[in-house]
Amino acid sequence: MQNLPIADFEYELPDEQIARFPLTERDASKLLVYRKGQITHAQFPEIVRELSEDTLLVFNNTRVIPARLHFQRVTGAQIELFLLHPVEPSTVIPVVMEESQACVWECMIGNRKRWKSGEVLQKELTIDGQSVTLSAELVSADESLVRLSWTNEIRFVDMVQAIGKIPLPPYLKREAEEADLETYQTVYSEKQGAVAAPTAGLHFTDRVFEALDKKGIKREFLTLHVGAGTFQPVKTENALEHKMHGEQLVITQANLEHLLQASRIIPVGTTSMRSLESMYWLGVQVIQGKYSSFSDGFYITQFIHQEYADPELPTKEEAFRAILKQMQAENRMEIVGETQIMIFPGYQFRVCQGLVTNFHQPGSTLLLLIAALIGDDWKRMYAEALTNNYRFLSYGDSSLLLPSDF
């Protein structure tokens, strides 16, 4: 394994430049524009001016669920369940969200030592005028699997909306407030299932979309349910020894058809970028015969691009057509799988020609992705942003990265 020192991707982030709360107006944020090594500064609505008419912006339309559930033992001790991945009756998030009786989730468990084996925790609540009892039981301590069951036929998504709390990023160092239920969602969020927001999209508003439409800039929405692993710091000296988290990706026939019509593809956010690049590698595997059927979904490994040394790899059009052809043959309008892809310096982008993104944590996998796109210029760009008092992280300001002619 090659060595990629995570120390090379550290920088000093003053605490006062971490945006702990959003701006009153979403699109009032600053926009740093990096174009072929040149850096300029603007306000976010000016992104319309910076993009050419033949751009397709690709957004992640996942919606954050209030994934933090709190229970109280008879002794008064608080137990917190942070929902991570569904296990039963399905691993497909949209399916579990519609479940009306019980489900099993892998969870992070706060105050785990206080929760005794065999002890059932209960919580009484009222949903749409109905009294509901929600029960939680630890079914596998080793794997942190929790069975949640409830009375009355209430959808699970309605259950968590009624009792859960929005899981804000830990680096904000504050509890979620009522306003976060709205401000920590993009205006186009739709598909319930993420435990973290695709925050690059938080800056977009209806008026920005109207201006994009007027210029003829198209947009596409795909779904990657962002996991808690997105906040996991790299703790290994060699960044490539870090284990990437898997996240659920939904691909539709419409996604592929629209991508095939696009000449310039710019993802909004690192999650959209990882999704698009994962779709390319899925197409490569389809072409090579790895997937004879999508009945069991698909899985994109962390270092998938290192598994293919062939310089004559398919184009993105060939890759997308291969997926689309197989979906049509199987009469599937959408497929659901998981991606663990890690993008770091040395990665050759197959689909994306730029990126709209916020400013990321020091020593994070997200910063590795930025470095993969613009090289060591990330240091100059971040230094410029710090000098000009940009707001950093999830509720912070934005950037548009265009490393080549655009």
CATH code: domain of residue 313: 3.40.1780.10
Distance, in Å, from the CA atom of 276 to the CA atom of 41, rounded to the nearest integer, reads 27
Residues 83 and 128 in one domain: yes
CB count within 10 Å of CB 179 equals 11
Residues 328 and 216 in one domain: yes
Q: Which two tokens stand for residue 207?
A: 């008026």
Residues 25 and 112 in one domain: no
Distance, in Å, from the CA atom of 217 to the CA atom of 227, rounded to the nearest integer, reads 30
- Helix 377-387 and helix 365-374: axis angle, to 10°? 110
Distance, in Å, from the CA atom of 362 to the CA atom of 406, rounded to the nearest integer, reads 28
> pLDDT category, 406, cuts 50, 70, 90?
very low
Contacts of 140 (CB under 8 A, 6+ apart): none
Examine residue 171 and state whether it is found in any structural domain, yes or no: no
Examine residue 176 and state whether it is found in any structural domain, yes or no: no
| Cα dihedral 347, 271, 326, 220 in deg (nearest 10) | -120
Q: Which two tokens stand for residue 279?
A: 């779709």
Examine residue 134 and state whether it is found in any structural domain, yes or no: yes
Distance, in Å, from the CA atom of 218 to the CA atom of 174, rounded to the nearest integer, reads 37
Buried b (16+ CB within 10 A) or exposed e, 325-360: ebbeeeebeebbbbbbbbbbbebebbbbbbbbbbbb
Give pLDDT, residue 227. Answer: 86
Residues 157 and 189 in one domain: no
Residues 48 and 90 in one domain: no
Q: How far is CA 267 from the centre of its chain?
A: 12
Examine residue 267 and state whether it is found in any structural domain, yes or no: yes
* pLDDT, average across residues 211-218: 97
End position of a domain, from candidates 134, 164, 194: 164
* pLDDT, average across residues 203-208: 98
Residues 259 and 339 in one domain: yes
Q: Which two tokens stand for residue 31?
A: 């926009």
Q: Which two tokens stand for residue 29?
A: 């944020």
Examine residue 173 and state whether it is found in any structural domain, yes or no: no
Lowest average pLDDT, out of 267-271, 310-314, 380-384, goes to 310-314
Give pLDDT, residue 140. Answer: 82
Residues 283 and 353 in one domain: yes
Distance, in Å, from the CA atom of 37 to the CA atom of 403, rounded to the nearest integer, reads 7
Number of domains in the chain: 2
Instruction: Specify the higher pLDDT residue, 1 or 20.
Output: 20
Examine residue 35 and state whether it is found in any structural domain, yes or no: yes
Nearest to 43 by CA among 51, 34, 52, 33: 33
Give pLDDT, residue 317. Answer: 98
> pLDDT category, 405, cuts 50, 70, 90?
low
Residues 329 and 383 in one domain: yes
End position of a domain, from candidates 103, 131, 164: 164
**Full domain range(s) for residue 95:** 68-164
Give pLDDT, residue 233. Answer: 83
User: 284: number of CA atoms within 13 Å, CB side?
Assistant: 23
Nearest to 185 by CA among 360, 66, 28: 66
Contact 174, 20 (CB under 8 A): yes
Give the pLDDT confidence of 13-39 residue by residue, as tens digits.
999 999 999 999 999 999 999 999 999
Give pLDDT, residue 264. Answer: 96
Has residue 387 got a pLDDT over 90? yes
* pLDDT, average across residues 130-147: 89
Distance, in Å, from the CA atom of 129 to the CA atom of 394, rounded to the nearest integer, reads 36
| Beta-bridge partners for 400 | 33, 356
Nearest to 344 by CA among 310, 387, 378, 381: 378
Contacts of 163 (CB under 8 A, 6+ apart): 66, 69, 70, 123, 125, 134
Residues 342 and 213 in one domain: yes
Residues 77 and 58 in one domain: no
Examine residue 239 and state whether it is found in any structural domain, yes or no: yes
Has residue 151 got a pLDDT over 70? yes
Contact 157, 98 (CB under 8 A): yes
End position of a domain, from candidates 164, 196, 218: 164
Residues 126 and 240 in one domain: no
Examine residue 1 and state whether it is found in any structural domain, yes or no: no
CB count within 10 Å of CB 64 equals 23
> pLDDT category, 1, cuts 50, 70, 90?
low
* pLDDT, average across residues 165-191: 93
Lowest average pLDDT, out of 53-62, 227-236, 332-341, 360-369, goes to 227-236
Nearest to 194 by CA among 165, 166, 226: 226
Residues 280 and 325 in one domain: yes
